[in-house]
Amino acid sequence: MNKDSKIYVAGHRGLVGSAILRALENQGYTNLVTRTSSELDLRKLPEVYAFFEQEKIDYVFLAAAKVGGIAANNDFPADFIRDNLLIQTNVIDAAHFNGVQKLLFLGSTCIYPKFAPQPLKEEYLLTGELEPTNEPYAIAKIAGIKMCESYNRQYGSKFISAMPTNMYGPNDNFDLKTSHVLPALVRKIHEAKEQSSPTVEIWGTGTPKREFLHSDDLADACIFLMNNYEGNEIVNVGVGEDIAIKDLAMLIKNIVGYEGELVFNSSVPDGTPRKLVDTTKINGLGWKASIPLEEGIRAVYEDYRSSLAVQQ
């Protein structure tokens, strides 16, 4: 990408999209295009085609998606598969037919089989059954990967796919019904401290292990891949180490300064036992994550507290 290339960040208000936008601005890219969902509904093909035809986009970061944690995926499976299929199909197709030079599609490590060997290598895709709690979302993301691969094969497009591990960072979703585990724990434990609650209930046994990547690290990786990678194979983006949910909760408890007890509710499903990605490919290309987990969570907690102060 040149510094004046016309770059569209789809989903620029979300956790990942906002980080990509910040990183592009910080790295001196000047011709950035964004649209809110009210300005452009990516689920509607005529609107998407008209946008691409008018704007003459050079590069696309496809970070727009309907996302959520276990509860949201379980309660709204139709929304997750429908909206994500529509968004990515419309953007990828319009990008191709309107001469976009390169597109980066953001998937998720939930595309890998539930019981795949650890760490998760890119070649494990489609080698086993998915985790049932987020299967509709995962199938939509797999369809996006295969759509990029197929357009590359048939049309010679330069569409690449990155698979980030669990994300956290500024602009995260702290809604307890729809958020992922890390921001949910930050909010729960903060509120317990503020209300002087003696205990905090945490879903599951606390034994599953998860890897957490700061959104600023992912944004840096996405720009790196856009500038340095061409290929039909997916690329994992992660930190290469994971942490048990129980240990994560204890870390957040210490950062927040909560002195009560953490109670684990084992009647709630744990989801996948472990989800650590193999980062050999992206590390071999020359990129490595740089933000330590504790440092990243401290920054997120300060961001969350600042947002609460603004609301008041």
305 annotated to a ligand binding site:
no
287 annotated to a ligand binding site:
no
- Candidates 59, 137, 229, 304; catalytic one: 137
Task: Examine the residue annotation and report whether 137 is marked as an active-site residue of this protein.
Answer: yes
The answer to whether the Cα torsion of 66, 70, 76, 80 is positive or negative is: positive
114 annotated to a ligand binding site:
no
210 annotated to a ligand binding site:
yes
35 annotated to a ligand binding site:
no
15 annotated to a ligand binding site:
yes
262 annotated to a ligand binding site:
no
56 annotated to a ligand binding site:
no
6 annotated to a ligand binding site:
no
9 annotated to a ligand binding site:
no
86 annotated to a ligand binding site:
no
186 annotated to a ligand binding site:
no
| Active site (catalytic) residues | 137
Known binding-site residues equal 11-17, 106-109, 141, 180, 188, 203, 210, 270
Known binding-site residues for substrate equal 188, 203, 210, 270
Known binding-site residues for NADP(+) equal 11-17, 106-109, 141, 180
